Structure 1
Amino acid sequence: MSDPYERSAEYLDIMIAEAWEPLAPALAEVLSVVRAGAGAVVDLGAGSGRGVRVICDALPQVPVLAVEPSAAMRAVLLARVHEDGELRKRVTVVPGDCASTDWPDGVHAVVALNVIGHLPPVQRRALWNRAARQLAPGGVLVFNVTPPFAPTEVERVRMAHVVIGELEYEGWASARPSGADEITWHMDYQVLRQGQVLAGASAEYRWWVATEDALAAEAAEAGLTLRRAGDPVLGLCVLERVSTTSSQWLI
């Protein structure tokens, strides 16, 4: 399978830093109130490891399994883990995806930020079912949903601009419909000095779209209930097992 992040991994960590400023405390708040014993946390699509650091800060001493299919992204992730003595003791980094990686028993939480759109509907449902089986009592699956929620054209827009030393780094994104419930993102990255482009890269990847209500209905079929968390702009969602005393969605 080709790696859509092979060309863009050089730029992604700095490009997502601003987005993580509000996301990190919202994720930490969700995890800090989870009552699921001392089981591990699984970070699916751990990327460059920004979420791994949030998990470790929110849940001291809890082991973390960081799952990342992209070799290029794992290089950044491993560097982040290795440079911190505490992370180095607690975080295990493995290649793999939602389906191919074994989870430890009694998972405290599963974190899947910026991941759900990568999964076709069949794989999404498989993830909900697996979480329903393997989460410890009181455990949660945390994911986010971002627009668009239906196949639609997204005009090219600058998503990030970062200055490091004498150089500027820009990220541009656009999308086009490519299926009944799918779009294809086109990403451009540029390195500039005084407005002159010195280097760059482009990448495309498939992204399956769905509304929050549709995802809640899918999860309910697996016995999970969905509630929102944090600022609605973040699209942060938490799945838990349906209570034995009530089957209402906590929406």
Structure 2
Amino acid sequence: MSDTGGYTVSAEFYDILQAETDRHLAEQRFTEAAVRARHAILDVGAGTGIVTEVLLRASSVPVHAVEPAPAMRAALLSRLAHLGADRRARVTVHTEPVSTAGLAAVADLAVASNMIACLEPATRRATWKALAAALMPGGLLLFDPPPAALPAGAETVGRLGPVRVGPDLYSAEVTRRPDRGILRTVFTYRVEREQEVLREAQEAFDMWPTPPGQLAEELQAHGLQLVRAPSSDLMAARRPAA
């Protein structure tokens, strides 16, 4: 087993276990805003490119895909390779975190799916600052917020799969536990054949619970105004118009 936090384990299992669910969720969350984009879209923490693909299909504008993790970026580029030259021509892949990418007024829509919770507080605040700079005046940011508080104890929060690949079944169990003020989320992946476990691998990710009021204060302090989100599981902020 490994516990790297760098997606080196999860990249193998991510699409086979999560792609269809994540694509459906991304379509619900981001399609309407993507259709309205007129200049460009920023996909922060693009991962394997599921959200990037949804944004490309829903819009006709350039998309900036930010993905620092090499393992996930390899999957992202593989997905882009199958989208066709016209859509691929609209994508710019950025290999640095958005907080250091130096993007300035490049997009009128930014989305951050499943990543803000994984930023420690100082990096999160640097990310708000970078996103405010990357958005054009009047630009909109959509993101799913971190958990508001720590759970009382360890809990199983989900099971992924099983998904069959030939004779093998791929699955994962997702657990969370508080750990010195941080929420540690652990993915335990299994590959089974004829009811025997062939492989088991594990990867853990730290999350920083943050109350919504604190997020609103941070956004305001870094030039973003909280606005009504298009769905109850998202938060939204806008860079004020010039």
Give, in angstroms, the shift of residue 89 of structure 1: 1.1
Q: Judge conservation of contact 2:45–2:66 (CA < 8 Å) in 1.
A: yes
Is the 1:5–1:73 contact (alpha carbons within 8 Å) kept by the matching residues of 2?
Answer: yes
Q: Pick from 13, 16, 21: which aligns with 1:14?
A: 16
Contact 2:177 2:184 in 1 (8 A): yes
Q: Which runs of 5+ in 2 are unaligned?
A: none
Deviation, 1:116, is 0.4
Match of 2:73? 74
In the alignment, structure 1 residue 121 sits paired with structure 2 residue 124: no
Q: Amino acid of the residue matched to residue 176 of structure 2? A: A
- Taking structure 2 as the reference length, the TM-score comes to 0.87
Hey, what's the Cα distance between the residues in 2 that align with 1:23 and 1:237? 14
Instruction: Say if 2:61 is the partner of 1:58.
Output: no
Q: What is the rounded CA distance, in whole Å, between the counterparts of 1:72 and 1:27 in structure 2?
A: 25
- Corresponding pairs, count: 235
Q: Name the counterpart of 2:176.
A: 175
Shift of 1:156: 2.8
Task: Kindly state the Cα deviation for residue 73 of structure 1 after the two structures are TM-superposed.
Answer: 0.7
Please give the per-residue CA displacement for 1:51-71, whole angstroms capped at 9, x wherever unaligned.
1011112221x1112111111
CA drift of 1:11 comes to 0.4
Evaluate the alpha carbon distance shift between residue 169 and residue 157 of structure 1 in structure 2; reply closer, same or farther with a 3 A threshold: farther
Q: Which residue of 2 aligns with 1:91?
A: 91
Deviation at 1:12, TM superposition (A): 1.0
Q: Secondary structure at the match of 1:102?
A: coil
2:7 maps to 1:5: yes
Alignment of 1:188-203 (within 5 A): 188-203=188-203
- CA distance in 2 between counterparts of 1:220 and 1:59 reads 29
Aligned residue identity for 1:52: T
CA contact (8 A) 2:105 2:133 kept: no
CA distance, structure 1, for counterparts of residue 77 and residue 219 of structure 2? 32
> What is the percentage of aligned positions where both structures have the same residue?
33
SS at match of 2:8: coil
The letter of the residue matching 1:25 is Q
Structure 1 unmatched runs, 5+? 245-251
Letter in 2 for 1:241: R
TM-score calculated relative to the size of structure 1: 0.84
* Partner Cα distance (2:94, 2:5) in 1: 16
Q: In structure 2, do the counterparts of structure 1 residues 106 and 127 end up closer, same or farther at CA, with 3 Å as the change threshold?
A: same
Distance in 1 separating the partners of 2:241 and 2:103: 23
User: Quick check: 1:26–1:229 contact (8 Å CA) kept in 2?
Assistant: no
